[in-house]
Amino acid sequence: MKKVGYIRVSTNGQNLARQKAALLKYLPEDMIVSDKKSGKDFEREGYSSLKNGIGKLVKGDELYITSLDRLGRNKEETLKELQYYKDNGIRLKVLDIPTTMIDTGETESQSWIIEMINNILIEVLTSLAEQERKTIKERQAEGIKQMPINPKTGKRRSLKTGRDVGRPRATFPDNWDSVYTSWRAGNITAVQAMKDTGLTKPTFYSLVRRYESKEG
């Protein structure tokens, strides 16, 4: 079994000293891997060495970090990393989560404790990931509501880019008039009309409403 530490800061201007000092209480300096890169993704040289190559952690090994956000800032991706360590039998020890630091020994009868700790961590991160996604969506929706409406398209316009926000407005296919007329006359079904025009159901009926409002 080997013990490895991982420390990270987001930029070269930041200092790793505090994290390193904390981990040195548990393992030697030559067993500490570091990165100076943002935690928004996991494509980092130091971190990647923990999962690939001669430094790869294997079943029974322990990984020490000062806090969960040292793995990454993206909660959803961090959740996947936790699951990876669990699946591969690698114990994660997080200094600011005291329960993960408990030495349970290697007996079979005590292994359930480690399993319980991992499950709690995963459960908490799942909730955080869901809340993060919800908060982001709510903020985006609120931001869009504050944008002015483009009178030409009826869509919200970004003050920053000057462009409409959202998907491009659907256009009428070349065969729309003939297919629409056949459908309204009862000669073909709506399903056939969608097939002939290559449109999805929501888009088809959206164009129907636009077309009929113009005719009216």
Q: What is the CATH number of the domain that holds 80?
A: 3.40.50.1390
- Assess if residue 141 is contained within a domain: no
Give 9's strand partners.
36
Which positions ≥6 away from 34 have C-beta within 8 Å? 6, 7, 8, 16, 20, 46
Among 160, 151, 8, CA closest to 73:
8
Half-sphere exposure in the Cβ direction for 208 (13 Å, CA): 16
Regarding whether 113 and 10 lie in a shared domain, the answer is yes
- What average pLDDT does this structure show over 46-50? 92
pLDDT level of residue 116 (50, 70, 90 thresholds): confident
The span from the CA of 118 to the CA of 92, in Å, is 8
Q: Each residue of 157-189: pLDDT tens digit?
A: 777 777 777 666 678 999 999 999 999 999 999
Report the pLDDT value the prediction gives residue 216, as an integer from 0 to 100: 40
Regarding whether 116 and 195 lie in a shared domain, the answer is no
Q: What's the mean pLDDT when you consider all of the chain?
A: 84
- Assess if residue 49 is contained within a domain: yes
Would the pLDDT of 111 be above 70?
A: no
Joined together, the tokens standing for residue 199 give 């449109």
Regarding whether 12 and 99 lie in a shared domain, the answer is yes
Regarding whether 40 and 108 lie in a shared domain, the answer is yes
The better pLDDT of the pair 198, 112 is held by: 198
The better pLDDT of the pair 44, 144 is held by: 44
pLDDT level of residue 102 (50, 70, 90 thresholds): confident
Report the pLDDT value the prediction gives residue 143, as an integer from 0 to 100: 79
Lowest mean pLDDT: which of 142-146, 170-174, 185-189, 204-208? 142-146
Would the pLDDT of 215 be above 60?
A: no
High-pLDDT (> 70) share of the chain, %: 88
Domain boundary among 111, 134, 157: 134
Report the pLDDT value the prediction gives residue 108, as an integer from 0 to 100: 60
Would the pLDDT of 44 be above 50?
A: yes
Residue 98, domain extent: 3-134
